[in-house]
Homo-oligomer: A and B are copies of this chain.
Amino acid sequence: MTNNETNLQFRLAARPVGMVKDSDWQQVSEPLRPLADGEMLVKVLYLSLDPAMRGWMNDAKSYIRPVAIGEVMRAGGVGVVVESKSPKFAAGDHVSGGVGVQRFWIGAADDKSASFHKIDPRLAPLTTYLNTLGMPGMTAYFGLLESGQPKAGETVVVSGAAGAVGQTVGQVAKQLGCRVVGIAGGKEKCDFVVNELGFDACIDYKGGSVKDGLKQHCPQGVDVYFDNVGGEILDTVLTRINMKARIVICGAISQYNNTTAVKGPANYLSLLVNRARMEGIVVFDYADRYHLGVAALGKWLKDGKIKSKEDVVQGLENFPSALNMLFEGKNFGKLVLQVAEA
């Protein structure tokens, strides 16, 4: 055991109003305690930073309980087992699970809320397990297939196209034979989405009219819209949907820091005119089939048919500013915080 190490943690100090401020966090350093039987110590290597984390900080009913004041901030991540008193994991194992925003995770190896599972760094880089082979990839894969139900030849539009979920949604839709149009912020992201990820087109919402972009790039209308952003973009896409279109509500990053009411989609009656559907998805619902998603996406990754793009920021001490990058549209690919050298 690394006795002389201390565990730096970010705990929730206050419920944020609007954008998260430094004062909403409390940094705590505490010494590592010895392990009890059945416990293990995990050294955190990478943390996954996700838009959903903003929601977990609110004291509101949601699909998961809020993080309590004084509690270590919830986060997924990958790490390496340093010491284990459980037969489930051995020192040296690489694991993925709910490690929290801290240098070390310590607890029962079979802790349900952490839900650790082994990962193999020889099959894919560790950060890929937080992206295409992790929660964002599962969200994209199952959300698109089960709720979006795209058919070959249909047009699929995805917002947050360069982000964690969006990048995989678009690439999977291409594999299924769809026309794929992304929406992202800035020329650099849009170029990446088209040139590197193989989308048919990408609309730069910062550089022009999304409505005009949809008219130009979706001449046959929109059959599936995978929404990560909400707000004005959702409302605009609603004006371009086809009969029997499917809108997958995966997130609404434009609304997460609102201090006023969420902007509802004023054009929702387009659902009526077009006999269309809007459905919310949460990745946990597919947990019993993650292995199928990992197998499919892993095969496409291995065959070079899809790519996993991460944006890695260094240093646990930079967690507060790194998290806010998500809401400023500053990350380019899945945002990952490197906590320690692998």
Contact = CB atoms under 8 A, between A and B. Distances in A.
Interface of A: 61-63, 230, 235, 249-252, 255, 261-282, 285
The DSSP consensus for interface residues of chain A is loop
Given A230-B269, A275-B285, 10 more contacts: A63-B274, A251-B272, A255-B269, A263-B266, A264-B267, A268-B278, A273-B280, A273-B282, A275-B279, A277-B277
Contacts of A285: 275
A206 B266 CA distance: 24
A268 B271 contact: no
A61 B266 contact: no
Nearest to A230: B269
Contact of A261 (B262, B266, B275, B281): B266
Nearest to A255: B269
Contact of A264 (B62, B63, B264, B279): B264
Stoichiometry, copies per complex: 2
A7 B250 CA distance: 56
Contact of A266 (B264, B269, B282): B264
Contacts of A235: 264
A272 B280 contact: yes
7 tightest Cβ-Cβ pairs between the two chains A and B: A264-B264, A272-B280, A271-B280, A264-B266, A277-B279, A264-B265, A278-B278
B273 A264 contact: no
A230 B263 CA distance: 15
Contacts of A266: 261-264
